Structure 1
Amino acid sequence: MVLSMNRWAGKVAVVTGASSGIGAAIADTLVEHGPILSKKGKLHAVKADITREEDILKAFRWIADNLGPVHVLVNNAGYMKEGLLTEGDTQKWKKEFDVNVLALCIATREAIGVMRTNDIQGHVIHINSTAGHAAPKAPKLNVYSATKYAVTALTETLRQELNTLQSKIKVTVT
């Protein structure tokens, strides 16, 4: 199957966690194929601490003021700190939930709000993990699998909510 990215040419795509790794590769691919994010597109890096709601809100305001409404959101930011659950560190657990679950929820809420306000048939993509579909036999993942299961459940909840609202916004989990 060949997917066309032409429908996103000239549109605004937001990728969380795009400073390195998978997020950077996603951002590069989007720039290559045209969404505003050089090549066909443009990359605008907006620094935000994804664990701070005010930073996320500030980033979305900057995007709206400087680039226009969001058409695509790729929730890619993720965090994992290995350790045994039975010996876990509460602050590390909180950071995993803050990055992997709460930041995803906040960014999704903001992007969908913009899409609905502007009648945009956008797309929200949650980058997940195999650990979000089946708990791996890896005892040192502690709460990571729980956060990724949450992403799976939140995506399905969002899909049902958007269907109830008769929204044309798409949501995907990978």
Structure 2
Amino acid sequence: MTISRWSGRIAVVTGASAGIGAATAIELAKNDLITIGLARRVEKVEELKSNLPNDKQRNLHAIKCDVSIEAEVIRAFAEIEKRFGGVDVLINNAGIVPQTSLTNINNSDNVRQVIDTNVMGVVFCTREAVKMMRERKSEGHIIHINSIAGHYMSYHSESTTMGIYYASKYAVTALAEQHRHEFIKEKLNIKVTSLSPGGVKTEIMKANPGAIPLDIIEKMMEYAPMLESKDIADAIIYLLSTPPNVLITELTIRPMNETF
């Protein structure tokens, strides 16, 4: 696969401090995209440079941003425009899992946090990126990191706290299709893809142990079929390698022998 046509172009990865976002930022920088990692833990993005060859480290940059806060998104993208001139590729990766069931009393903060990050973060970041793509009349590619949870609801786990997560990912599925139609209507030369992984070994569940009990998480990570973060990063490189006349609207990637 080659993504040489994107060489020197500007890529933004949200949630770039760990997991899929970190792996993606590394692979994009290796492929000579000027890559900006947005994250709350901005120092973690800076540390990723040690995973890059010396001549590629200059391709990776970090900007602090919590995508759940609209003002921070606007500020971050304004800084990107000022420093780098715009955005050509956007990877909407930032996401969290919930720590509450839908009917828990006093669950408002947890529910809003999931929606603000997983849904509104996608809306705000895409809006700001498209603004620059529109002004520059440039081609672009936006990839929403969705989940199989955005297409299928599974209840075989021992958790009953994932309802708002499913809802947030179903929303991402709808957002991708809505974005596609808006780009067509405006005659914008922008691709949009929903990328839906199955199980991936990342920090996301361990970072939110209230969603699934920690002992269950550890068993899942040890025994259940799991993808690596780099598998998803490689899928992103594949999507960017498609020629301008080809649009993959939905890509689902699962570990072998995943049962749900």
The TM tier, using the shorter chain, reads over 0.9
In the TM superposition, residue 39 of structure 1 has moved relative to its aligned partner by: 4.1
CA deviations 1:61-86 (Å, max 9, x no partner) are 11111111100000000011243222
Query: Which residue of the partner structure matches residue 93 of structure 2?
Result: 76
Write 1 or 2 for the structure with the bigger share of strand: 2
- Please list, as runs of the form range in 1=range in 2, the aligned pairs for 1:116-155 lying within 5 A after superposition: 116-137=134-155, 138=157, 139-155=160-176
Residue of structure 1 equivalent to 2:30: 32
**Structure 2 counterpart SS, 1:87:** coil
Question: Would you say the 8 A contact 2:100–2:111 is kept in 1?
Answer: no
| One of 3, 6, 9 as aligned partner of 1:5 | 3
Shift of 1:57: 0.7
Question: What is residue 186 of structure 2 aligned with on the other side?
Answer: 165
Aligned length: 172
Aligned equivalents of 1:65, 1:109: Cα separation in 2: 17
Contact 1:23–1:76 (Cα < 8 Å) also in 2: yes
CA contact (8 A) 2:101 2:164 kept: no
- Identity among equivalent pairs (%): 42
CA distance in 1, matches of 2:88, 2:171: 24
Query: What's the TM-score once normalised by structure 1's chain length?
Result: 0.94
Q: SS at the partner of 2:88?
A: strand
What RMSD over aligned residues (CA atoms) do the two structures have, in Å?
Answer: 1.3
Whole-Å Cα distance in 2 between the matches of residues 131 and 56 of structure 1? 25
SS in 1 for 2:66: coil
Instruction: Extract unaligned runs of 5+ from structure 1.
Output: none
Please tell me whether Structure 1 or Structure 2 has the larger radius of gyration of its CA atoms. Answer: 2
The unaligned stretches of length 5 or more in structure 2 are 36-53, 196-260
TM-score (norm 2): 0.64
Contact 1:31 1:39 in 2 (8 A): no
Task: Return the alpha-carbon distance in structure 2 between the equivalents of residues 91 and 83 of structure 1.
Answer: 10
